[in-house]
Copies of this chain bind each other. A is one copy, B any other.
Amino acid sequence: MENRALNVVPFVSVDHMMTLVLHVGMERFLVELAEYIEEDFRRWPVFDKTPRVASHSSNGVIELMPTSDGELYGFKYVNGHPLNTRSGRQTVTAFGVLADVGSGYPMLLTEMTILTALRTAAMSALAAMHLAPAGARCMAIIGNGAQSEFQAMAFKALLGIDRLRLFDIDASASRRCAANLGAYGFDIAICRSPQEAIEGAQVITTVTADKQHATILTDNMVGAGVHINAVGGDCPGKTELHRDILMRAEIFVEYPPQTRIEGEIQQLAADHPVTELWQVISGLTAGRRDERQITVFDSVGFAIEDFSALRYVRDKIRSTDFYDRLDLLADPDEPRDLFGMLLRHAAKHSAA
In contact, A99 and B111 (Cβ under 8 angstroms): no
Stretch at the interface among A70-78, A126-134, A241-249: A70-78
In contact, A62 and B73 (Cβ under 8 angstroms): yes
A125 CB to closest chain B CB (Å) equals: 15
- A326 CB–B CB distance under 8 Å: yes
* Binding site secondary structure of chain A: mixed
Query: Given A146-B336, A342-B26, A345-B19, do A103 and B77 touch, yes or no (CB 8 Å)?
Result: no
> How far, in whole Å, are A125 and B321 apart by their CA atoms in the complex?
46
* 16 A-B pairs (CB sep. < 8 Å): A14-B329, A18-B342, A22-B349, A55-B73, A59-B103, A61-B104, A77-B106, A81-B102, A87-B103, A89-B103, A90-B330, A114-B341, A114-B342, A145-B336, A150-B338, A150-B339
- A283 CB–B CB distance under 8 Å: no
In contact, A329 and B150 (Cβ under 8 angstroms): no
In contact, A330 and B14 (Cβ under 8 angstroms): yes
> How far, in whole Å, are A99 and B146 apart by their CA atoms in the complex?
23
In contact, B176 and A329 (Cβ under 8 angstroms): no
- A93 CB–B CB distance under 8 Å: yes
Query: Given A64-B75, A90-B335, do A343 and B180 touch, yes or no (CB 8 Å)?
Result: yes
- A346 CB–B CB distance under 8 Å: yes
Q: Which residues of B contact A73 (CB under 8 A)?
A: 55, 62
- A210 CB–B CB distance under 8 Å: no
Please report which residues of chain A, range 76-104, place their CB below 8 angstroms from some CB of chain B when the two chains form the complex: 77, 79-81, 84-85, 87-91, 93, 95, 97, 99, 101-104
In contact, B337 and A180 (Cβ under 8 angstroms): yes
Q: Which residues of B contact A62 (CB under 8 A)?
A: 68, 73, 99, 101, 104
In contact, A64 and B66 (Cβ under 8 angstroms): yes
A288 CB to closest chain B CB (Å) equals: 29
- A113 CB–B CB distance under 8 Å: yes
The 5 closest A-B pairs by CB, nearest first: A79-B104, A149-B339, A113-B330, A13-B327, A18-B345
A26 CB to closest chain B CB (Å) equals: 7
Q: Which residues of B contact A221 (CB under 8 A)?
A: none
Which among B88, B102, B145, B148 is the interface contact of A6 at CB below 8 angstroms?
B88
Per-position binary interface string of chain A over residues 306-336, scored 1 when its CB falls under 8 Å from any chain B CB and 0 otherwise:
0000000000000000000011111110111
- A105 CB–B CB distance under 8 Å: yes
Which among B22, B330, B340 is the interface contact of A93 at CB below 8 angstroms?
B330
A150 CB to closest chain B CB (Å) equals: 6
Q: Which residues of B contact A114 (CB under 8 A)?
A: 330, 338, 341-342
> How far, in whole Å, are A102 and B58 apart by their CA atoms in the complex?
8
A173 CB to closest chain B CB (Å) equals: 7
Instruction: Identify the closest chain B residue to A55 (Cβ).
Output: B68
In contact, A15 and B336 (Cβ under 8 angstroms): no
In contact, A70 and B90 (Cβ under 8 angstroms): no
Other CB < 8 Å A-B pairs besides A87-B103, A176-B336, 8 of them?
A14-B330, A55-B66, A55-B68, A57-B68, A88-B335, A89-B103, A95-B106, A146-B336
